[in-house]
Amino acid sequence: MSPTNHSSSPSVLKARNLAKAFGSNTVLKDIDIDIHRGQVVALIGPSGSGKTTVLRCLNGLETPDGGTVTFGGTGVDGDSSAGLSIDFAAKVGKKDVAELRDRSAMVFQHYNLFPHMTVLKNIIEGPVQVQKRPRSEAIAEAERLLERVGLADKRDAYPFELSGGQQQRVGIVRALALKPQLLLFDEPTSALDPELVGDVLGVIKELAEEGWTMVIVTHELAFARNVADEVIFMDGGVVVERGPAAEVLRAPRQERTKLFVKRLQHDV
C-alpha cells in the first residue's frame, strides 16, 4: 500500500500546543498534530515518550493542561456536522469532554471489553446508551461488522471465551460501531501472542484501504511503513521528527530517531 498525500483533504483534527503533566512529571510539551480525512498517522517512540497520552487527550480520556483540539465538521461517511474546538487553557466542562469523546473511538492495548457482557452487548452499549441509536439498528450494524472480521459466530460469547486476537477484533468492531470521525489505536497488538498479531494488523490495514482516518501508536515499524501516510516520532514528551513513513523509517534525519529505528530494525 503506497502512502497517499492527504494534505488537500478536509481537516479532521488539529491539535495545537498540547501540554500535560502528572504532578511534577511533564508528559507532553507543546504537541502539534494535523490529521486529514483518510490519513493514517503512526505515533512511534520509546516507552514513556507520551504517545498514549496524546491519544487519551485527543479522546477526552485525559484533560490537557493547555493547548487546543479542533475537529472539523465532516463525518466518516462524508456527512456534515458541526465542528468542535476546545481551548484547554480555559475552563473545560463535562459537556466539552463528552463532545470531544463523541468524535473519536479508541481501541485499547488490553481490549477493555466488559467481562460480564456478551460480544454483542459490548458492541451495542455505546451506540444505544451513549448515542441513543435504536437498538435494532445497533444490533444489525454489530452483526454486519462481526461478519466482516470473521466473528459472526461469537456474538453471544463472553470475552473470557475468546482468544486475545478475537477480543481485539471485537474491540475494533466496538470502535467502528460508534461511526467516529477518527479511530485511535493504542498499541493494538502489543498484548497479543505473535501468531495472532497478523489477524489484527490485517483488519487495520483493510480499514486504512477503506479510507478510515486513524492515529496508531505502534512498535510494529514494518506495519507503520506499509500502512501509515505519516510517521511522528516522539521522545521525552516532544515531537522529534515527522514526515512520510518511508522517509522517517528508512532514512531518519534526527539522531534520536535513527537510534530508535536501528534498535527495532529487525521489525522493519
pLDDT per position in the chain (268 positions), as tens? 445 566 667 889 999 999 999 999 999 999 999 999 999 999 999 999 999 999 999 999 999 999 999 998 644 444 445 688 999 988 888 888 888 888 999 999 999 999 999 999 999 999 999 999 999 999 999 999 999 999 999 999 999 999 999 999 999 999 999 999 999 999 999 888 888 899 999 999 999 999 999 999 999 999 999 999 999 999 999 999 999 999 999 999 999 999 999 988 654 4
Asked whether residue 123 is assigned to any structural domain, the reply reads no
E strands, the chain, where? 11-22, 25-36, 40-44, 66-71, 84-87, 104-107, 182-186, 214-217, 230-235, 238-244
CB 248 within 8 A of CB 241: yes
Asked whether residue 155 is assigned to any structural domain, the reply reads no
The grid coordinates listed for 37 are 480525512
CB 28 within 8 A of CB 20: yes
* Total structural domains within the chain: 1
The grid coordinates listed for 244 are 512520510
Asked whether residue 4 is assigned to any structural domain, the reply reads no
Q: What is the residue whose three cell numbers read 498479531?
A: 197
- Range of the structural domain that residue 195 is part of: 11-112+181-267
Asked whether residue 94 is assigned to any structural domain, the reply reads yes
Task: Note the pLDDT of residue 7.
Answer: 62
Q: Phi first, then psi: give them for residue 21, nearest 5 degrees.
A: -135, 145
pTM: 0.91
Q: Is 235 left (phi over 0), alpha (psi -120 to 50) or beta?
A: beta
Asked whether residue 29 is assigned to any structural domain, the reply reads yes
DSSP string, 76-108: TTS-B---EEEETTS---HHHHHHHHHHEEEE-
Task: Note the pLDDT of residue 268.
Answer: 44
Give 74's DSSP letter. Answer: B
Task: Note the pLDDT of residue 77.
Answer: 45
Asked whether residue 144 is assigned to any structural domain, the reply reads no
Q: What is the CATH number of the domain that holds 39?
A: 3.40.50.300
Q: Which of 173, 268, 259 is nearest to 225 (CA)?
A: 268
Asked whether residue 156 is assigned to any structural domain, the reply reads no
Asked whether residue 129 is assigned to any structural domain, the reply reads no
Task: Note the pLDDT of residue 5.
Answer: 61
